[in-house]
Amino acid sequence: MDFTISDTMKAVLELVNEFVDKELIPMEHEFRNKDFRDLLPELAKKREMVKKMELWGPNIPKELGGMGLDLMDHALVSEALGRSPLGHYVFGCQAPDAGNIEILHLHGTEEQKKEYLSPLARGEIRSCFAMTEVDMPGSNPVMLETTAVKDGDYYVINGHKWYTTAADGAKFAICMAVTNPEAPQYLQASMIIVPTDTPGFNLVRNIPVMGHAGSDYFSHGEILFQNCRVPKKNLLGQEGQGFVIAQERLGPGRIHHCMRWLGICSRAFDMMCRRANERKITPDGKTLASRQIVQQWVADSAAEIQAARLMTLYAAWCMETVGHKEARDDVSMIKYVVANTMQRVVDRALQVHGGLGMTDDTVLAFFYRHERAARIYDGADEVHKAALATRILKRYRDGAK
C-alpha cells in the first residue's frame, strides 16, 4: 500500500489543522465550562466559515454539498479534527449524523432524502440513532425488546432505549425495532425514521456520564417509545434489514472513530511533551523531561500511536480495496487497539500534568472522562476480541492456516 498523501490533501490538512488551532482550541475552555447549548450561536458562525472555505462535510457526497472524500482521505481529516472535541461537529462530520447520512444516502427513498437527508447534510438539523436498550445487552443487539407493530398505514413503536447520543435537540431518530418477530433473529429488526416531535417519543433525560449530563449535541439520551405512531413510509430500507444496514454503518464509522481517537492521541502527546520540557522539578532547573520514567512514557506513546495509526490506515485501505467483509478482522483489531492506545496516552499525559491534569483547565480531563467509552461503544473490546479470535481459530480448524 502507498502512504503518499496527495498535494490536494496536504493543502486540505494544512487548512484543517490551522482552523483547529486558531478557531477551535481557543474556544475549548468555554466549551468545557459552559452548557453546550449556549455555544451554538458561536459554533454556527464557525460552521459558516468552514463552508466558505469549502471544507464542510469531508465525508458527505459532493451532490449533497460535502467534500466527497474517500475513506482514506476522510480518515486523515478525521485525525486532524479529532485534536479538538469541537472538530467533527464544526466540520459537519460528527457521529451519529455521519453514519445516518451514509445510510439515508444508500437506502432512503426520494421523499426521505428530501425531508431528512438534505437538511442533515447541510447541517440545518441533527439526528440520533436509537438501538441500545436499557434492559437488553447492547453487545448482542439482535436481542431487542423494542417493537414496531403495523396498524393500518402506521408502525406503533414501544420500547426503552438509552445512550441515544445527541437525542437532545435532534430533529429525528433512526430507531431499531423488531418488525418481524417470526423471522430468524438476524432478520427481525428494521430501521424506522421517527421525528422527535412525534407523540410517544419521550426524551426521559440526558444520562449523566462520568458526572456530566451535557446538553444538545454533547449528550446521551434515555428514550421511552410509548405507542409512538409513525407512517409506514418512514421505514428505512427493507423490512427486516435493520441489522444488515447497521453493519454497513458500523464499518466506515469505526475507521472514523479510530482516526478521531488518533487525533486525541496526537493532542495529548503534544501536551505531554511540552509539559515535560517546561515543568521544572528541581531548584537547579531540571525538568520532568530529564526523568527516565517520563522519557519512557514519551517513547512508548510515540511508538504505540505510530503502530495504531498504521493499523488504522491499513484497515481503511483494505476496506476500500477488498471490501468491508474482507476487512473485518482489521477493523476489529483497530477498534480495541486504538481505543486502548488512546486511553494509555491520555492517562500518561494527564499524569505528567499532575494536579493540573485533573482540572478542567486543560482538555485532558475531558478526554479522560469522555473517551473511556471508546472501549465500550461500537462493540466492546471483549466482543471484538472474541469475534476475531473465533474467526481466526475457525480458519485454523478449516485447514486454511
Give the binding site for ligand FAD (CB under 6 A).
96, 129-132, 137-139, 163-165, 220, 373, 376-377, 380, 382-383, 386
Omega of the bond prior to 141 within 30 degrees of 0, cis? Answer: no
- Dist. CA 318–CA 325, nearest whole Å: 10
In the complex, least distance from residue 167 CB atom to ligand FAD, rounded to whole angstroms = 8
In the complex, least distance from residue 315 CB atom to ligand FAD, rounded to whole angstroms = 20
Cell of 331: 477493523
In the complex, least distance from residue 138 CB atom to ligand FAD, rounded to whole angstroms = 2
Rank residues 255 and 313 by Cβ distance to ligand FAD and give the closer one: 255
Rank residues 164 and 241 by Cβ distance to ligand FAD and give the closer one: 164
> Cell numbers 449535541 correspond to what residue?
217
Rank residues 246 and 308 by Cβ distance to ligand FAD and give the closer one: 246
Rank residues 129 and 261 by Cβ distance to ligand FAD and give the closer one: 129
Rank residues 139 and 296 by Cβ distance to ligand FAD and give the closer one: 139
DSSP-derived pairing of the beta strands 235-236 and 154-165:
unpaired
In the complex, least distance from residue 170 CB atom to ligand FAD, rounded to whole angstroms = 10
In the complex, least distance from residue 132 CB atom to ligand FAD, rounded to whole angstroms = 3
Rank residues 314 and 377 by Cβ distance to ligand FAD and give the closer one: 377
Which ranges of 5-39 would DSSP assign to H, the alpha helix? Answer: 7-19, 28-33
Beta bridge partners of 128: 173
Beta bridge partners of 302: none
Rank residues 352 and 388 by Cβ distance to ligand FAD and give the closer one: 388
HSE-up of residue 122 (Cα within 13 Å, Cβ side): 9
Q: For residue 373, which amino acid is it?
A: A
Rank residues 81 and 339 by Cβ distance to ligand FAD and give the closer one: 339
**Opening angle at CA 34, ends 267 and 174, nearest 5:** 80
> Cell numbers 440545518 correspond to what residue?
124
Q: Greatest CA span in the chain, whole angstroms?
A: 81
In the complex, least distance from residue 392 CB atom to ligand FAD, rounded to whole angstroms = 16
Q: Torsion angle of alpha carbons 9, 341, 336, 253, nearest 10°?
A: -30
In the complex, least distance from residue 31 CB atom to ligand FAD, rounded to whole angstroms = 17
Distances (CA, A) of 74 to 216, 247, 271, 278, 285: 25, 19, 25, 34, 44
- Dist. CA 196–CA 161, nearest whole Å: 14
In the complex, least distance from residue 285 CB atom to ligand FAD, rounded to whole angstroms = 43
Query: Which residue's C-beta sits nearest to ligand FAD?
Result: 138
- Dist. CA 116–CA 30, nearest whole Å: 31
